[in-house]
């Protein structure tokens, strides 16, 4: 006899309501729980406190034996849009305990895994924590709720203390079942919109070495690829559900290029009419690949050069040069029918006034180069996270110390976790103000004027 399991996507807690991102990770987990009756509840479909009322209703109507909570992110990681998502977790768990005191509660997700022990110790209501990818460990845990120590990759409580059962190998991604998105698991309709809110994953793992990034920790440094045929079959499945716009949520889509090419060729061969976006690595983005991806439906190419000078690019271990960025910009300017976006950090270890100015030049230059084609530039500061080279560097610099908690209590503490040496503090304050002015006033005004001009 299986259990009744309610999987919850934790609420982000934003006052400004935005269309929710589809909980792809929970669908993967739900699909592997074949022996159990599973429902998914994404609290982000509603504003607070309505979302909590929906949670009460779901627990009352479904009467689950176990509730699982997914923490995708603990904060925005954006200094210009700072918000601490994690502050909703405690109230959510306490509400579940009030409604059903005897229910078992487990937690997982990438946000949890980065801060696994800290979260287990901070929120004592969590009975179990699923560490890293849970498609294999979660079904095993449900078979061993009374003996969680037998299941590798699980945090649990024993005699009032938090324990870890030990590391386990990451799943063979190619052999995981395609995640179900039908009405028996989740209502997909709230996610179908003009935005690409629904994700599709073609691989896991990352072989790049970006110094600030936690992806290699979360998904490993070895690529685990799905077959191009299975990827495109999933696209056909999405189309059958009414989805024609989606995002490829790989860490980087065009690594390796051969895998990307085969997927795009298969989409074209089957004549599928879809629109999608993905993140691309600059050096591996050729004219041939862009044209093929465009033919397969890619409308937006995301790039993350992150730095603007050879010195800062080297410090962040990007594996590219200033020349590579310029060549990529020239390429994307010449190709019609696609948008390109670029992300930069304006402060990084080893930054100089020259590199900072060069970054700001690119911030203003790229929209001019790509004028009329869409896309743009994102500019921010590095959010220091554990399990990264950046954390090691800031400890050596003395910017942070070993006692600094990278899982803060509030936005006030979160501000201190963005890399900004004291010597650049006032300059960064001015740049942050300038960027907000550009994003909130200048760009919208420019788009309004252009729209009115072209309408005439």
The enclosing H or E element of 342 equals: strand 339-347
Give the separation between CA 346 and CA 351, rounded to whole angstroms.
Answer: 8
pLDDT average, residue stretch 223-228: 98
- Other beta carbons less than 10 A from residue 104's beta carbon: 18
pLDDT average, residue stretch 142-147: 97
Tell me how far CA of residue 44 lies from CA of 9, 15, 53, in angstroms.
7, 11, 12
Confidence label for 450 from pLDDT (cuts 50, 70 and 90) = low
Contact yes or no for 377/363 (Cβ under 8 A): yes
pTM score, whole prediction: 0.94
89 Cα distance to chain centroid: 18
Contact yes or no for 105/124 (Cβ under 8 A): no
> Is the predicted pLDDT of residue 248 greater than 70, yes or no?
yes
Report the chain's mean pLDDT, rounded to a whole number.
93
> Is the predicted pLDDT of residue 258 greater than 70, yes or no?
yes
Residue that is written with structure tokens 């090691």 in the block? 392
For 176, list phi and psi in degrees, rounded to 5: -75, 145
- Give pLDDT, residue 44: 95
Strands (E) in 352-445, as ranges, are 375-381
- Other beta carbons less than 10 A from residue 75's beta carbon: 20
Contact yes or no for 219/170 (Cβ under 8 A): yes
- Give pLDDT, residue 285: 98
Tokens of 74: 């603990």
- Give pLDDT, residue 425: 83
- Other beta carbons less than 10 A from residue 139's beta carbon: 17
pLDDT digits 0-9 by tens, 49-79: 999 999 999 999 999 999 999 999 999 999 8
Name all domains of the chain by residue range, CATH numbers in brackets.
4-164 (3.40.50.280)
Map 129-178 to HEC letters: EECCCCCCHHHHHHHCCCCHHHCCCEEEEECCEEEECCCCCCCCHHHCCC
Q: Which residues pair with 394 in a beta bridge?
A: none
Give the separation between CA 180 and CA 88, rounded to whole angstroms.
Answer: 27
pLDDT digits 0-9 by tens, 386-427: 999 999 999 999 999 999 999 999 999 999 999 999 888 888
Contact yes or no for 252/283 (Cβ under 8 A): no
The enclosing H or E element of 106 equals: strand 104-108
Calculate helix-pair angle for 89-99, 50-62, nearest 10 degrees.
40
- Give pLDDT, residue 101: 95
> Is the predicted pLDDT of residue 455 greater than 60, yes or no?
no
């Amino acid at each position: 006899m299986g259990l009744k399991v309610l999987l919850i996507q934790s609420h982000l807690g934003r006052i400004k309501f935005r269309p929710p991102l589809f909980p792809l990770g929970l669908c993967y987990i739900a699909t592997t729980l074949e022996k159990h009756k599973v429902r998914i509840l994404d609290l982000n479909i509603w504003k607070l406190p309505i979302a909590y009322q929906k949670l009460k209703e779901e627990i009352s109507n479904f009467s689950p034996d176990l509730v699982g909570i997914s923490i995708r992110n603990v904060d925005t990681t954006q200094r210009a849009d700072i918000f601490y998502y994690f502050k909703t977790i405690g109230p959510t768990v306490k509400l579940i305990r009030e409604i059903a005191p005897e229910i078992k509660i487990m937690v997982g997700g990438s946000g949890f895994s980065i801060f696994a022990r800290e979260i287990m110790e901070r929120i004592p209501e969590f009975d179990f924590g699923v560490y890293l990818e849970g498609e294999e460990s979660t079904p095993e845990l449900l078979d061993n709720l009374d003996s969680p120590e037998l299941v590798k990759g699980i945090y649990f409580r024993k005699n009032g203390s938090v324990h870890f059962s030990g590391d386990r190998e990451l799943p063979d991604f190619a052999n995981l079942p395609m995640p179900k998105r039908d009405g028996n698991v989740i209502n997909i309709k709230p996610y179908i919109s003009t935005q690409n809110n629904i994700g599709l994953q073609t691989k896991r793992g990352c072989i790049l070495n970006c110094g600030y990034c936690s992806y290699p920790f979360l998904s490993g440094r070895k690529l685990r690829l799905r077959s191009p045929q299975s990827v495109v079959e999933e696209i056909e499945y999405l189309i059958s559900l009414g989805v024609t716009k989606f995002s490829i949520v790989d860490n980087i889509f065009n690594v390796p290029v051969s895998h990307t090419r085969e997927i795009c060729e298969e989409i074209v061969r089957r004549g599928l009419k879809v629109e999608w976006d993905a993140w691309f690595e600059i050096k591996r983005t050729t004219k041939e690949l862009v044209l093929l991806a465009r033919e397969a439906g890619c409308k937006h190419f995301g790039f993350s050069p992150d730095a603007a000078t050879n010195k800062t690019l080297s410090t962040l271990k990007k594996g590219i040069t200033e020349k590579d960025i310029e060549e990529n910009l020239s390429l994307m300017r010449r190709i019609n029918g696609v948008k390109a976006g670029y992300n930069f950090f304006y402060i990084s270890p080893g930054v100089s006034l020259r590199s900072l100015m060069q970054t700001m030049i690119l911030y203003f230059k790229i929209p001019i180069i790509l004028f009329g084609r869409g896309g743009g530039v994102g500019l921010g500061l590095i959010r220091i996270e554990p399990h990264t080279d950046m954390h090691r560097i800031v400890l050596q610099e003395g910017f942070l110390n070993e006692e600094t908690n990278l899982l803060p209590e509030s936005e006030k503490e979160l501000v201190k976790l963005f890399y900004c040496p004291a010597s650049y503090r006032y300059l960064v304050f001015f740049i942050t103000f300038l960027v907000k002015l550009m994003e909130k006033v200048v760009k919208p005004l420019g788009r309004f004027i252009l729209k009115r001009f072209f309408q005439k």
